[in-house]
Amino acid sequence: MIKSGPKNLKSFGDLVDRHIADMEEVGKPLRRSKAYSLNLLKEKLGRIRIGNLNGQRVIEFGRSRALEGAGPCTVGADVSYIKTILAHAAAVHGVVVSTEEVDLARIALTRLSIVGKGRERNRRPTEDELKVLFEEFDGNERLTIPMTRIVKFAIASAMRESEITSITWKDLDARRRVVLVRDRKDPRDKDGNDQFVPLTDLSGYDAWELIQEQRQFAFSENAPIFPYNPRSVGTAFRRARKKLEIEDLTFHDLRHEATSRFFEAGLTIERVALITGHKDWKMLKRYTHLAPDMVFLQRSNVGS
């Protein structure tokens, strides 16, 4: 795939670093979402010599991401970033490269249903599943991440792993009980999307109280409230799920669960959107899977 290039660019990780540096030089530093994706690529593929990064490697990468729980849209975005990094290296640094194998790998991954349009999911964790997950986390003496607290906070806040681990103590407004999530993911706004998120107790867990439990780690105002690597959080969740033989449950499903609980608590679409960050209210439909018995509960509330 790659025949030659500058001597200081030997691995795919070198190309990622060079791309990031180039973007910073022209005043276009990576936003949090893209930075997270490129750091993941570097972790997974960074050590591969650029001459050995062929289509088969890309397919293997796509398969591994799918096994980790990444959906078709996410894997597709990862493959697109691989192509972007290679194309940038060719255009800016004279690396002789063809992206044709990446395109062929995308075709293969698409036929394997690993890359494609997002599938609408309605998977919600059961109370029993959450109970055994918490027992597994709390009973694992080797686990240094407070996974029970993080999972509860995910359901209380509807935040993604990368958002949970990025909020800092200086982003917290104690008077208003909100926290600023910087550069929140938004498919329509690629250039930053800071949002204040209410810290409620409407999901069965109290987001504000869970943050207070993290005070022991508040070494500075600039420190993250949850000072953990988001990929490590995801790995710990998958390991516990696999050990407990819980099928087809991802960390992102906790965001679905949170959104559904907010609706079940009686919040309007507008108020749910303030927590989840959805600007297009139609997008909330795919995250909303109300429990059937809530229909009777809400009807009784209307009549009271």
Residues designated as active site: 160, 190, 252, 255, 278, 287
CB atoms within 10 A of CB 200: 22
Q: Residue holding tokens 């999911």? A: 121
Give the ranges where the chain is alpha helix by DSSP (H): 12-25, 32-45, 55-67, 72-93, 100-111, 127-139, 147-157, 161-164, 207-212, 230-243, 253-264, 269-276, 294-303
Copy the structure tokens of residue 127.
Answer: 């109370």
DSSP H or E run through 174: none
Q: Where are the alpha helices (DSSP H) in 26-71?
A: 32-45, 55-67
Dig out the tokens for 244 from the structure. 């407990």
DSSP for residue 49? B
Q: Compute the C-alpha angle 266/268/270, nearest 5°.
A: 150
Q: What tokens does 271 get?
A: 């108020």
220 three-class SS: coil
